[in-house]
Amino acid sequence: MKKVQNGFTLIELMIVVAIIGILAAVALPAYQNYSNRAAFSELVLAVTPLKTAIELGIQTRSPTAIGDLDQAVFGIPATVSVTSLLHGSTVADGGITMTWRSDGTPLAGITYSLTAQGITPPVQWAEGGTCLTNGFC
């Protein structure tokens, strides 16, 4: 009589577990990087009102130099300090710098900046900040 095999052998199960382990070791860091980049997009979008305020200040108030575009001037909002709940923002000489809140995540303290490249509309913007070197923007 022939014996019929029931179920999987131990070696087959060990191979499946090893394959799943290898896939998880590769996938988890990639997923964490992806989720950090997705979260950082919140800060990139938060720069939009400041960018709009600078562009409106250029179009309506006619500054004489890029150095005139500072916080609390020409309708540009004042500085917001970084806290555990708030992202920080500063505007100086036509440059906007946003800083991720100090919440203990890998994103804490990472900056995103936009700098106006002149005062003639349409304004061109240069992107910068530590987010570029960290791969978040």
> Hey, where are the domains in the chain?
10-134
Mean pLDDT across the chain: 93
Residue 49 pLDDT level (bands cut at 50, 70, 90): very high
Q: Check if CATH label 1.10.10 holds for domain 10-134.
A: no
**What pLDDT, in 10s, does the model give residues 2-24?**
777 778 889 999 999 999 999 99
**What pLDDT, in 10s, does the model give residues 74-83?**
999 999 999 9
Report CA-CA distances (Å) from 37 to 31, 51, 69, 102: 10, 21, 30, 17
Q: Which DSSP string corresponds to 76-118?
A: PPPPB---SSS-EEEEETTEEEEE---SSSTTTT-EEEEEE--
Predicted TM-score of the model (pTM): 0.81
- The pLDDT, as a whole number, for residue 7 is 82
Instruction: Compare 30 and 18 and report the one with higher pLDDT.
Output: 18
- The pLDDT, as a whole number, for residue 6 is 79
Mean pLDDT of 102-114: 95
H or E element, residue 128 = strand 125-128
- The pLDDT, as a whole number, for residue 62 is 86
H or E element, residue 134 = helix 130-134
